[in-house]
């Protein structure tokens, strides 16, 4: 595809962290490379769905706002996830809907109101050169993103996409009300028990699931630290093993760490179990200081919930209408 067939959004002001993300980088953890991908898979999926995009289409993950984009042609977009005080040429723009950004007009993200990560999709997805099979940007490893070097957007950058798909016309499309999440509410996170949970003391296991945990300030795309009562494990040492998305490790200080998309690939701390994909998505939208609870769930129920949530999104675009 030549540059003449591409449309662009110009970065007039770069926020603290805005990166391209597709579903993630898989099949490379044996090389020590993590998966990346959207921290909030739920909002990512809906943003693409509103535009009829394929599951693998890359979107822009905007963290904590502070970003201004200018359209260099009329562009059809969809915004889902956090309310980052978005505005279209100065007029407030609520998330969970598709809209048109006219040529020369600005889309601006301000301060977070609810949640911390918004997802901006364009028809056909944003373009870039894949790195190890994915566009997902992982800044820690210097991989992927709009320039392939793992760097977030900077002022003056341009995001490219297929012009024809992004100029598709249409009225307002919105996510159903029941699928919109109020990120300001306390979160209950489903966790599949496993790994070393039997090695924790009975009192610690009780505390794990009957305590309000507080999201710590030490939180990013690698993981989220939770503070609360100390959890004690009988294991004195263990051999490092592979770490899945959502693994909840408990280091020697007894405070859990839920590992997210940019996590390390192996770890040697005991684990309570693994958060479900929906629980990871919900946790990724929590501000420091917010309260969360862990809720044990059977693996079969977690798998059924995942299929219910995401199977329809992964169908071919033509079959979704």
Is 11 within the bounds of a domain?
Answer: yes
| Residue pair 190/297 in contact by the 8 Å Cβ criterion | yes
Q: What pLDDT score was predicted for residue 93?
A: 97
Q: Are residues 155 and 270 in the same domain?
A: no
Q: Where are the alpha helices (DSSP H) in 108-159?
A: none
- pLDDT more than 70, % of the chain: 93
Three-class SS of residue 101?
A: strand
Given a cut of 60, whether residue 151 has pLDDT beyond it is: yes
Given a cut of 90, whether residue 125 has pLDDT beyond it is: yes
Is 169 within the bounds of a domain?
Answer: yes
CATH number of the structural domain spanning residue 249: 2.40.100.10
Q: Where are the alpha helices (DSSP H) in 81-218?
A: 163-166, 202-209
Q: Are residues 155 and 83 in the same domain?
A: yes
Three-class SS of residue 108?
A: strand
Q: Are residues 199 and 154 in the same domain?
A: no
Please measure the distance between the N-terminal and C-terminal CA atoms of the chain and give it in whole angstroms: 26
- pLDDT more than 90, % of the chain: 86
Beta strand ranges found along 176-243 (DSSP E): 187-193, 213-219, 223-227, 241-242
Rounded to an integer, the average pLDDT of 279-289 is 97
- Both tokens of 128, joined, read 């870039």
Is 320 within the bounds of a domain?
Answer: no
Is 317 within the bounds of a domain?
Answer: no
Q: Are residues 165 and 202 in the same domain?
A: no
Tell which wins on pLDDT, 44 or 195.
44
The pTM score is: 0.94
Q: What pLDDT score was predicted for residue 321?
A: 39
DSSP 215-226: EEEEESSSEEEE
Rounded to an integer, the average pLDDT of 38-62 is 96
Domain boundaries, position 138: 3-181
Given a cut of 90, whether residue 4 has pLDDT beyond it is: no
Q: Are residues 108 and 201 in the same domain?
A: no
Given a cut of 90, whether residue 148 has pLDDT beyond it is: yes
Given a cut of 90, whether residue 164 has pLDDT beyond it is: no
Q: Are residues 278 and 165 in the same domain?
A: no
pLDDT-derived band at 319 (thresholds 50, 70, 90) equals very low
Q: What is the rounded distance in angstroms from the CA atom of residue 201 to the CA atom of residue 213?
A: 18
Q: What pLDDT score was predicted for residue 40?
A: 98
pLDDT in tens, 178-213: 999 999 999 999 999 988 999 999 999 999 999 999
* Average pLDDT for the chain: 93
Three-class SS of residue 175?
A: coil
Q: Are residues 175 and 301 in the same domain?
A: no
Rounded to an integer, the average pLDDT of 99-114 is 97
Please give the tally of structural domains in the chain: 2
Is 135 within the bounds of a domain?
Answer: yes
Is 319 within the bounds of a domain?
Answer: no
Q: Are residues 128 and 222 in the same domain?
A: no
Q: What pLDDT score was predicted for residue 311?
A: 82
Rounded to an integer, the average pLDDT of 252-259 is 97
Q: What pLDDT score was predicted for residue 237?
A: 83
Given a cut of 70, whether residue 226 has pLDDT beyond it is: yes
Element (H, E) at 11: strand 6-13
């Amino acid at each position: 595809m030549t540059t003449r067939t591409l449309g662009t959004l110009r970065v007039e002001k770069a926020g603290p962290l805005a990166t391209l993300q597709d579903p993630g980088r898989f099949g490379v953890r044996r090389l020590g490379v993590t998966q990346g991908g959207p921290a909030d898979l739920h909002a990512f999926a809906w943003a693409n769905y509103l535009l009829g995009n394929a599951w693998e289409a890359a979107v822009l993950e905007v963290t904590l706002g502070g970003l201004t984009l200018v359209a260099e042609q009329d562009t059809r977009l969809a915004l889902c996830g956090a309310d980052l005080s978005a505005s279209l040429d100065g007029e407030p723009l609520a998330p969970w809907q598709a809209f048109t950004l006219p040529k020369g007009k600005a889309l601006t993200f301000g301060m977070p109101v609810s949640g911390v990560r918004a997802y901006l999709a364009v028809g056909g997805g944003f373009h870039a050169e894949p790195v190890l099979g994915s566009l997902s940007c992982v800044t820690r490893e210097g991989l992927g993103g709009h320039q392939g070097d793992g760097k977030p957007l900077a002022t003056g950058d341009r995001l490219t996409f297929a012009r024809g798909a992004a100029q598709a016309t249409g009225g307002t499309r919105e996510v159903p009300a029941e699928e919109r999440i109020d990120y300001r509410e306390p979160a209950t996170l489903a966790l599949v028990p496993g790994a070393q949970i039997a090695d924790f003391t009975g009192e610690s296991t009780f505390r794990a699931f009957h305590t309000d945990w507080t999201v710590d300030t030490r939180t990013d795309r690698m993981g989220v630290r939770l503070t609360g009562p100390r959890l004690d494990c009988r294991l004195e040492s263990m051999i490092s093993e592979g770490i899945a998305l959502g693994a909840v490790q408990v280091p020697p200080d007894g405070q859990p760490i839920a590992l997210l998309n940019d996590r390390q690939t192996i770890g040697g701390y005991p684990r309570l179990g693994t958060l479900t994909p929906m629980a990871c998505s919900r946790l990724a939208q929590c501000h420091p200081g917010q309260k969360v609870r862990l809720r044990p769930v059977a693996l079969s129920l977690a798998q059924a919930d995942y299929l219910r949530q995401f199977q329809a999104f992964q169908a071919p675009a033509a079959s979704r209408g």
